[in-house]
């Protein structure tokens, strides 16, 4: 995402004033004078942030905010409006606006708030990227599980599992020290209330063990904790 800011404001003087201000502070500025034009520019240019007026021709500011947050939640939105009612601010913030400024506003305050929301979005992206990296692979002994593409390898060889076998192994590997009861496993994998379906869990665990043994016969992976359930060996 670039350093592009979209101004959606139907008042020509305010729109141009904001454009000049942001350009002077090294932002790449695009301008829209209606909600419909704003939406088209969002889809074409994917700005980093939008400064959004509420009272707009074509498409009003509130539905435009909803569209942005539904389709492009990473785009920061600062609402700029003459409406001072607290209920309006609360409604828009709950609808996803990152900040709300009442007209007329101080330009230095606008710049400061824009910097804050952009920093906040940047931190969110970094955090999301780190979480994704941490979640990309699950490993245990020589098992490598790739949750994003449902692929499992053992000693470099692909392990073919059914959907439920995969989900059981994934559950056990997410917390290899924890003992999962048959109740835990059944309700997590089958998404149904456990009604004593011990055999269903036992059969799937047995199938996983057999498939693992075909690739690495000398290694034990899943341990039975008698009277409780299963955990990684």
* Residue of 92, 68, 72, 66 whose CA lies nearest to 80: 92
Q: Helix 163-174 and helix 182-190: axis angle, to 10°?
A: 130
Is the four-CA dihedral 227, 228, 231, 233 of positive or negative sign?
A: negative
pLDDT at 1: 43
Domain ranges of the chain: 4-127, 138-232
- For residue 184 the two structure tokens come to 């835990």
Give the span between the Cα atoms of 112 and 110, in whole angstroms: 5
Q: What is the pLDDT of residues 123-153, one digit of tens each?
A: 776 665 555 555 578 899 999 988 877 889 9
Q: Helix 107-136 and helix 12-24: axis angle, to 10°?
A: 60
- Listed as ranges, residues in the chain with pLDDT below 50 are 1
Distances from the Cα of 79 to the Cαs of 12, 98, 224, in angstroms? 17, 8, 57
For residues 131 and 95, the answer to whether their CB atoms sit within 8 Å is no
DSSP of 88-116, one letter per residue?
A: HHHHHHHTT-SEEEESS--HHHHHHHHHH
CB atoms within 10 A of CB 83: 15
CATH superfamily of 4-127: Response regulator (3.40.50.2300)
Output DSSP code: residue 26: T
Task: Say which CATH architecture domain 138-232 belongs to.
Answer: Orthogonal Bundle (1.10)
pLDDT at 126: 64
**Beta bridge mates, 77:** 50
């Amino acid at each position: 995402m670039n350093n592009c800011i979209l101004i959606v404001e139907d008042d020509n003087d305010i729109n141009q004033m904001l454009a000049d201000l942001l350009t002077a502070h090294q932002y790449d500025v695009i301008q829209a004078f209606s909600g419909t034009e704003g939406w088209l520019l969002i889809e074409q240019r994917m700005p980093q942030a939008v400064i959004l007026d509420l009272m707009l021709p074509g498409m009003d500011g509130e539905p435009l905010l909803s569209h942005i947050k539904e389709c492009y939640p990473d785009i920061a939105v600062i609402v700029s409006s003459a409406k001072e009612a607290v209920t309006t601010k609360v409604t828009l913030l709950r609808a996803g606006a990152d900040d709300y400024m009442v007209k007329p506003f101080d330009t230095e305050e606008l710049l400061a708030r824009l910097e804050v929301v952009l920093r906040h979005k940047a931190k969110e992206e970094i955090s999301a990227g780190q979480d994704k990296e941490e979640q990309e692979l699950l490993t245990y002994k020589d098992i490598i599980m790739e949750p994003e593409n449902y692929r499992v390898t053992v000693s470099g060889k692909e392990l073919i599992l059914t959907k439920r076998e995969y989900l059981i192994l994934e559950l056990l590997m997410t917390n290899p020290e924890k003992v999962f009861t048959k109740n835990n496993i059944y309700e997590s994998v089958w998404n149904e209330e456990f009604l004593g379906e011990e055999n269903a869990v036992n059969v799937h665990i047995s199938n996983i063990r057999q498939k693992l043994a075909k690739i690495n016969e000398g290694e034990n992976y899943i341990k039975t904790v008698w009277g409780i359930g299963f955990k990684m060996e």
